[in-house]
Amino acid sequence: MRHAARSPLLALVMVALVLAEWLWRRRSAGVGYDSRGALASLAVGAGHLVSGALPALVLGGLFASAARWAPVHWPLRDWRTWLVAFFAVELAYYAFHRVSHEVRWLWTTHAVHHTPEEMTLLSSIRLGWTNLLSFGWVCYLPLVLAGFDPRMVFALLAFNLHYQFFLHTEAVGRLGPLEWVLNTPSHHRVHHGSNAAYLDCNYGGVLIVFDRLFGTLRTERADEPVRYGLAHPLGTQNPLKLVFLPWLRLMSDMRAAGSLGGALRVALGRP
């Protein structure tokens, strides 16, 4: 999202696709977007842009420092380095995404992205503001320590995240053989499902191959329509509450645990 804001062409494409999707929803279902949900996504997305500036500076410096500890440095201008790094970043993203669903401390940031109760392109920009605090970025440090240039890691991660913008829609059905290799709108609709049959699956970014490899792939079922949103909804479209209520609930549960060990078990346990 932040990189899209710096690219007028990409931003223009995204706006055009949002308008096209709105028209498609009007014609196919008689309704465009839920206005309150759409406005909440825009507000949370704007807040993500602003709140991400300081963490970007902090992590840029941290990753640059970590790169100096790498025993080797892979050539930045070699296409083979980029190819290997693409798969390495994809695996790191899979790990980050999976742990964000399985550890409550990380889930408190990621949960924001799962609050929309309709699957639209606008829901892709509803992103948490506390990424630095939740420590998900640790999943990418091994790539830098392995010798990949931080600029390469950030560029490939940006590509990964931009690709996922196009996955947040009901306008695209299944894509045949591409479903075997790529993360598709169908796969990602399942990922956003709050049905018990669809919880915690399809963690890939651009690819779906690691979900196949590690047994976390699930596909859309005709007998189980996807129900979007959280399993335990927050019951609000207030942007500040969407961002901070998960943290307030976590802090409350940690205090109620009664001991440091209990609090840690809450924070590091499953959501």
pTM for this model (two decimals): 0.95
| pLDDT value of residue 6 | 60
pLDDT digits (tens, 9 = 90+) for 197-245: 999 999 999 999 999 999 999 999 999 999 999 999 999 999 999 999 9
* Phi, psi for 69 (deg, rounded to 5): -90, -10
Asked whether residue 113 carries a pLDDT value surpassing 90, the answer given is yes
What's the rounded Cα separation, in Å, for the pair 127 and 243? 8
| pLDDT value of residue 4 | 53
| pLDDT value of residue 1 | 45
Query: Please, what is the average pLDDT of the chain?
Result: 95
The per-residue b/e assignment along 233-248, b for 16 or more CB within 10 angstroms, e otherwise, is: ebeebebeebbbbbbe
pLDDT digits (tens, 9 = 90+) for 2-32: 455 567 888 899 999 999 999 999 998 788 8
What's the rounded Cα separation, in Å, for the pair 103 and 101? 6
